[in-house]
Structure 1
Amino acid sequence: MELRHLRYFSAVAQTCHFGQAAALLHVAQPALSYAIRQLESELDVTLFTRTTRQVALTPAGDYLKIEAERILAGVDDAVDGVRRIAAGRSGLVRLGLTGIAAFSHLPRIARVIKRELPDVDLAIQSDMLTPVQCESLRTMALDLGVLRPPVVGEAISMRTIDIEQMVLAVSVDHRLAVEPVVSIEDLRNESFVMYDSRDSAVNDAAIRSCHRAGFVPQRAHEAPGTAVLLALVAAGLGVAVLPASVRSLPLEGLIIRDLVDGGTVELALAWRAGQDNPVVEAVADVIADAFALESSAGRASVPDLHSPIIAAHLRENP
């Protein structure tokens, strides 16, 4: 049975008039009549009763009318779906994120995808370190990753979407909690809470800042994820130097302070090099464009180095 025959039958069944159906289909009436006879012959049934005055459906024709409408609607939906996928407007994208980004950047990502690509579904995996995301991208377990550069291994492409200032997290009763702004030098004798992974880009950024100030941070405690790390800091077991987006995770007993010389850390969108999935490309473009429209400085609460308080602090702690 050809789809063409079903479409011809459906038009005649709706109008019960071969001339009107032929006009709707833009075909000659004899060709339409011949196609209906072919369909009846193939099914070995009579679908219409015909007189010189009237065309009516038989019981078999009534049943086929319902089924033909269902089948043709399904075909039209399938064609539309295929075209939307090919145009990058529909489909599933598996997205991985680092721990803090899942709280600070995921809401913005989800909103912009819902607005710009409403027929795209996101499957989210969070608290994924950069090396794990890179491997998942290579093995096709992920389509896109939001990670901290540098990427690990080969065949991964990326685009920076945010540059964040590093800030200080301390407990509410810590001596630095009352300071409006802090320098890395102020942390020389502090105990640090860091991530337990040797591949943590956040750890690396914090350690680089301490090295520039002339000391090695005292790593007192390690945490498997951001939630545990912040809980340890709030408990007074040490301080932490983290990206400014940590402000999106308010926690009782925790204070976040600006660092005048804490440095920065990047956040990037990554994908498997050479991938040609139009849906993944569309999602990546929408995310990148959304972040490009915003000021990284404004989002990351960058300290104003020209403010009187910070200028005085820098003079006292060169």
Structure 2
Amino acid sequence: MELRHLRYFAAVADTCHFGQAAARLHIAQPALSYAIRQLESELGVSLFARTTRQVALTAAGEFLKGEVDRILLSIDAAVDGVQRVAAGRSGVVRLGLTGIAVFSHLPRIARAVRSELPHVELRVVSDLLTPDQCDRLRGGAIDLGVLRPPVVGEGIEVRTIDVEPLVLAVAADHRLAVEPVVSVDDLRSESFVMYDSRDSAVNEAAVRTCRAAGFVPHRAHDASGTPVLLALVAAGLGVALLPASVRALPLENVVVRDLPDTGTMQVALARRAGDDNPVVDAVAAVAAAAFASASARALDSSIGETAMGEPR
């Protein structure tokens, strides 16, 4: 039984008219009549009761019509699904994010993907520092990462999507919490809370900022992730220099102050070098477009970054 015979049968069953069915199928009526007779011969039943005035389905034909409608719908859905996957418009993308980016960047990315790629499922893996994301990208555990360059190791491509300044996080009862303007130099005698990762991009930016002000920060406590870090700050065990998007987090007993003399940090989309998965391409493009204006600012101000597949 050939698929075309099922489509021919469905057209005649829908119209109960060989001439109309042939016109719909764009084939000659004799060829259609012959194909239906072949199908009836193969099944050993009559599917249509034919007279000179009308064509009607037999009981066997009525049963077959229901089955064929179901089969053809399933086949059409399969074809549509295959084409969506090949075009990057369907599938699953595992997205890793830093703890802060879950609050500050995920909502915009998720909304854009839901709007532009409604058949794509995002599976979020959260609270991953940049080194961990790089390891997971190389190992195939995630497909895209939202992280802060520089990346750790080789085989990772990045595209800048946002640039933000560093800000100061202090306990609500800290002496600097009530100051209208805070300078990095005001932190010279402070204890700092930092991430415990040796390759943390946020740590590197904080140390670089302090050294530019003429001192090395006193690292008093280490935290495994952003929630722990903020809890230590809230407890008064130290201050922290963090990306400005930390304001997107629910902060209890923590005050955030701008620092006019700090540098900036980039937020980037990262993926495995050479990954040609079309759905990953599509999600990366949609996510980058969601931050298009920020990306333009980043390209104007950033130092040598490598775009996905396009050296700057």
Residue equivalent to 1:226: 226
Residue equivalent to 1:72: 72
Q: Secondary structure at the match of 2:96?
A: strand
Q: Secondary structure at the match of 1:199?
A: coil
Residue equivalent to 1:31: 31
**What's the RMSD between the two structures over aligned residues?**
1.5
Distance 1:7 1:236 in 2: 73
Residue equivalent to 2:308: none
Flag structure 2 segments of 5+ consecutive residues without an equivalent: 298-312
Contact 1:163–1:296 (CA<8 Å) still a contact in 2?
Answer: no
Distance 1:246 1:50 in 2: 76
Map 1:142-157 to 2 at 5 A.
Answer: 142-157=142-157
Deviation at 1:295, TM superposition (A): 7.8
Q: Secondary structure at the match of 1:257?
A: strand
Map 1:191-270 to 2 at 5 A.
Answer: 191-270=191-270
Deviation at 1:247, TM superposition (A): 0.5
Residue equivalent to 1:92: 92
- TM-score when normalising by structure 2: 0.91
Q: Check if 1:175 corresponds to 2:175.
A: yes
Q: Secondary structure at the match of 1:293?
A: helix
Cα offsets for 1:224-277 (capped at 9, x unmatched): 111111111112111111000000113221100011222221111011111112
Residue equivalent to 2:108: 108
Residue equivalent to 1:308: none
Distance 1:125 1:191 in 2: 31
Deviation at 1:129, TM superposition (A): 1.7
Flag structure 1 segments of 5+ consecutive residues without an equivalent: 298-318
**Aligned partner letter, 1:195:** Y
Distance 2:136 2:2 in 1: 44
Contact 1:180–1:258 (CA<8 Å) still a contact in 2?
Answer: no
Cα offsets for 1:163-204 (capped at 9, x unmatched): 110000001111101112211111111111111111211111
Cα offsets for 1:264-317 (capped at 9, x unmatched): 2111101111111222111111111221224888xxxxxxxxxxxxxxxxxxxx
Distance 1:195 1:223 in 2: 5
**Aligned partner letter, 2:213:** A
Distance 1:100 1:224 in 2: 13
Distance 2:173 2:194 in 1: 20
Distance 1:154 1:175 in 2: 43
Q: Secondary structure at the match of 1:159?
A: strand
Q: Check if 1:282 corresponds to 2:308.
A: no
Distance 1:294 1:161, change over 3 A: closer
Cα offsets for 1:103-135 (capped at 9, x unmatched): 111011111111222222111111112222122
Residue equivalent to 1:118: 118
Cα offsets for 1:20-45 (capped at 9, x unmatched): 21111111111001111111222222
Distance 1:238 1:279 in 2: 43
Contact 2:163–2:294 (CA<8 Å) still a contact in 1?
Answer: no
Distance 1:19 1:260 in 2: 80
- TM-score when normalising by structure 1: 0.89
Contact 2:166–2:265 (CA<8 Å) still a contact in 1?
Answer: yes
Q: Check if 1:44 corresponds to 2:44.
A: yes
Contact 2:161–2:295 (CA<8 Å) still a contact in 1?
Answer: no
Contact 1:164–1:296 (CA<8 Å) still a contact in 2?
Answer: no
Q: Secondary structure at the match of 1:219?
A: strand
Cα offsets for 1:40-71 (capped at 9, x unmatched): 22222221222222322222211110111111
Distance 1:100 1:107 in 2: 12
**Aligned partner letter, 2:91:** G
**Aligned partner letter, 1:190:** E
Q: Secondary structure at the match of 2:291?
A: helix
